Amino acid sequence: MSLFYKERAPKVAPENPNVLILLHGYGSNEDDLFSFAEELSDELLIITVRAPYEMGYGGYAWYAINFDANNDKFSDTKQASESVDKIAAFIDEIKAKYNTNKTFLLGFSQGAILSYGLSLRYPNKVQHVVALSGYLLEDLIPKEISADITTDYYVSHGIVDQVIPFAWAKKTPDFLNKLNLQNEFHEYPVGHGVAPQNFYSFKDWIDKRL
């Protein structure tokens, strides 16, 4: 397989399992979001993926975040774009290996940013996106977006997020609505993280789509 991953097999074993692919955030690793796995539906094949760029101390990134002379941060959008393509190829490998049915893509922070990019660049490669604490990175969005996309989105953000401003995330529903893409937006009184209420909310959203 082209990217390192861990899996939790479905506890009930359908021939064509629905798969949930987890993309962690900057400086984290594949174990971070895997803590969700035991609480999620027994029907799901859960795949948690390690980002390709090693940062040391067990941390990985999907793309570099750099700082300029004024300490303003900016993203390496070339690396980000390459990671979108790597994840798309990896999803194809998972589909072929496990003979999957629906594909859910759940990303946190950088993982959410790439989930948006992938779903818009590769129409209907994934059926459902859960985007936690991310935003739409303009350089990852195609200039022309297919009118045939049927992917739907669960979007959430902390209103006191100190890493990715809430105002950035708040633009997402308007963007998706203009494309006639179904979406739900949820806000929580937290920082850059996932509140328990948020977890149970997106768990319910996923369960309704199995």
| Count of C-beta atoms within a 10 Å radius of residue 127 | 16
| Count of C-beta atoms within a 10 Å radius of residue 185 | 16
Instruction: Pull the structure tokens for residue 92.
Output: 């194809």
Angle at 197 between CA 194 and CA 202, to 5 degrees: 75
Candidate CATH numbers 3.40.30.10, 3.40.50.1820, 3.50.50.60, 3.40.190.10; the one for domain 5-207: 3.40.50.1820
> To the nearest whole number, what is the mean pLDDT of the chain?
95
Instruction: Pull the structure tokens for residue 117.
Output: 């990019």
Tell me what pLDDT residue 27 has: 96
Domain parsing of the chain, residue ranges: 5-207
Prediction pTM value:
0.95
Round to whole Å and give the CA distance between 53 and 37.
24
Decide: helix, strand or coil at residue 48.
strand
Closest CA to 145 of 168, 125, 169, 122: 122
**pLDDT at residue 71 greater than cutoff 60:** no
Closest CA to 19 of 113, 124, 128: 128
Contacts of 204 (CB under 8 A, 6+ apart): none
Over the Cα atoms of the chain, what is R_g?
16
Kindly indicate the confidence band of residue 72, based on its pLDDT and cuts at 50, 70 and 90: low
**pLDDT at residue 68 greater than cutoff 90:** no
Alpha carbon 130 to its chain centroid, in Å, reads: 6
Each residue's pLDDT tens digit, 78-94 = 999 999 999 999 999 99
Each residue's pLDDT tens digit, 14-30 = 889 999 999 999 999 99
